[in-house]
Amino acid sequence: MSKSVIEYLENSAVMFPEKIAVADDKSSMTYKELLCYSKNIAAALLPYVKQGQAVPVYMEKSCMALAAFLGIATVGCFYVLLDHSYPIDRINSIIHTLDANMMIVDEKSAKKQEKLGFEGNVLKIEELIQYTASKEEYVQLETIREQALDIDPLYAIFTSGSTGVPKGVIVNHRSVIDFIDCFTKQFGISSDDIIGNQAPFDFDVSVKDIYSSLKCGATIQIIPKSLFSFPAILLDYLDNNHVTTLIWAVSALCIVTRLNGFDYKKPSNINKVIFSGEVMPIKHLNLWRAAYPDAMFVNVYGPTEITCNCTYYIVDRAFELDETLPIGKPFPNERVFLLDEKDELITQQDCHKIGEICVSGTSVTLGYYNNKEKTSEAFVQNPLNNKYIEIIYRTGDLGYYNEKKELCFSSRKDFQIKHNGHRIELGEIDAAINAADGVARACCIYDEKKQFIIGFYEGESDKKAITHALLAKLPKFMLPQEFVKVDAMPVTKNGKIDRKQLMEKYDEK
């Protein structure tokens, strides 16, 4: 039984040593090279790390970044990608949560990194991959490997936090191995595939790209982010690189169809389209299925906290525009169920009864790093089981069973949203707006129909000033698309902002 994802890399390096494991628009690495580089990086890190600690990687997604991830895993630590586009305050907040004392950068990122004010060791990836390990260091790495457990952390992904502080979901090797073994088998991913990576490396969709490829000896073709603004160039890129598999966020797929990309070209090798992150509009799904009638289309669902996905639905029939696309059935070795407000089980016979989607199994992650309070709120004992410890994750998502007894997503239980493929806590945006000069109080609401964030505020400030303030604190994808100034926030009888009344006044305009 596999204990570490590094076994995926080692096995593929034996079977396909000269095959391209990963490529970006500037470079590529064979499986043999990727394994060699990961060992070099691991050996070079030995003087700087202790087993199980966090190692931030501050660079754009690339072949080098993947080598860094695998080197960190080889030395018994876990990696966290820090996105260049994030404001300095957010990055420093993540570093503080991780209590990190070192960081890996590339040459391109080195100058940007200096602005962070990080006081730990900063190592350059270009030097790490060229490191020559001694026999003693190889023995140290072997010892680390022998002592490792499959429940040791592999990576952390930071999601938006309701208090303004990002939450780091910490995921172990076992959760990834169990999921990827099922994922690749279920959808027939093999060494013949070239997976077109769309997702950022700090977004859990990329975990499926990376470890599906390493498991099966496939190739990861990293797609430059800029291409998603130019569908024609994007489609040429997919075609020229013979991409077979798209494991993309819904918003990325919709870019192609919204801008009529298929009128220009249909890349000839695509045979699997697996999507997640938000509800797939049937209109766009139908356009993709018309372009690729013989391809497999799969709707997968699940938050970062349960290791990528917990359910899947292979699209095997036509859907009308007003139909809801099911999120399907659980992956093997995952238990997915609905609990009502009294924590009682909702069954498939309870057609259209709404309940919270809950998940049990080895896919459930280790919680939020260095955040016991938030972990204890969402990772709880299964209320249906009082006989032994069974930790479940309460997703905060609402779902129901349709007439066909298929599980369907309904909406968010709280104010956490999924917008453009990202999970966002509206409270984090509230906190950032409230901190801006000239703002007395703020409240953000997500308009489900229009799919944009509205920032309500009271005070003397204006949209331009608030936007400028937010850009220093939040990623661009978290900025409200519209700001509405109000004389005073309406409140409920218990003193909370009345969001329903805010939206009613907004809709009257």
DSSP states of 182-211: HHHHHTT--TT-EEEE-S-TTSTHHHHHHH
Pick the closest to residue 239 from 225, 219, 221 (CA basis). 221
Task: Measure the CA–CA gap between 258 and 26, rounded to whole angstroms.
Answer: 29
CB burial class (10 A; 0-12, 13-18, 19+) of residue 28? middle
pLDDT digits (tens, 9 = 90+) for 147-168: 999 999 999 999 876 566 789 9
Are the CB atoms for 366 and 170 separated by under 8 Å?
A: yes
Q: Three-state DSSP class for 290?
A: helix
Mean pLDDT within 3-19: 98
pLDDT of residue 360: 98
pLDDT digits (tens, 9 = 90+) for 361-406: 999 999 999 999 999 999 999 999 999 999 999 999 989 999 999 9
Task: Quote the longest CA-to-CA distance of the chain.
Answer: 73
Are the CB atoms for 359 and 334 separated by under 8 Å?
A: yes
Answer whether residue 349 shows pLDDT above 50. Answer: yes
Answer whether residue 172 shows pLDDT above 70. Answer: yes
Mean pLDDT within 225-233: 92
Amino acid identity for residue 100 in this structure: A
Q: What is the pTM (predicted TM-score) of this model?
A: 0.85
Task: Measure the CA–CA gap between 98 and 56, rounded to whole angstroms.
Answer: 9
pLDDT of residue 493: 36
Mean pLDDT within 216-232: 94
Are the CB atoms for 16 and 217 separated by under 8 Å?
A: yes
pLDDT of residue 496: 60
Q: Kindly report the backbone phi and psi dihedral angles of residue 486, in degrees, each rounded to the nearest multiple of 5, phi listed first.
A: -125, 150
Answer whether residue 509 shows pLDDT above 80. Answer: no
Share of the chain above pLDDT 90, in %: 75
pLDDT of residue 448: 82
Answer whether residue 471 shows pLDDT above 50. Answer: yes
Q: Kindly give the interhelix angle for 63-74 and 31-45, rounded to the nearest 10 degrees.
A: 50
Q: Kindly report the backbone phi and psi dihedral angles of residue 148, in degrees, each rounded to the nearest multiple of 5, phi listed first.
A: -70, 150
Answer whether residue 58 shows pLDDT above 50. Answer: yes
Answer whether residue 322 shows pLDDT above 80. Answer: no
pLDDT top residue among 84 and 241: 241
Task: Measure the CA–CA gap between 406 and 404, rounded to whole angstroms.
Answer: 5
Answer whether residue 500 shows pLDDT above 90. Answer: no
Amino acid identity for residue 146 in this structure: E
Share of the chain above pLDDT 70, in %: 97
pLDDT of residue 281: 83
| SS3 readout for 333-384 | CEEEEEECCCCCEECCCCCCCCEEEEEEECCCCCCECCCHHHHHHHEEECCC
pLDDT top residue among 503 and 420: 503
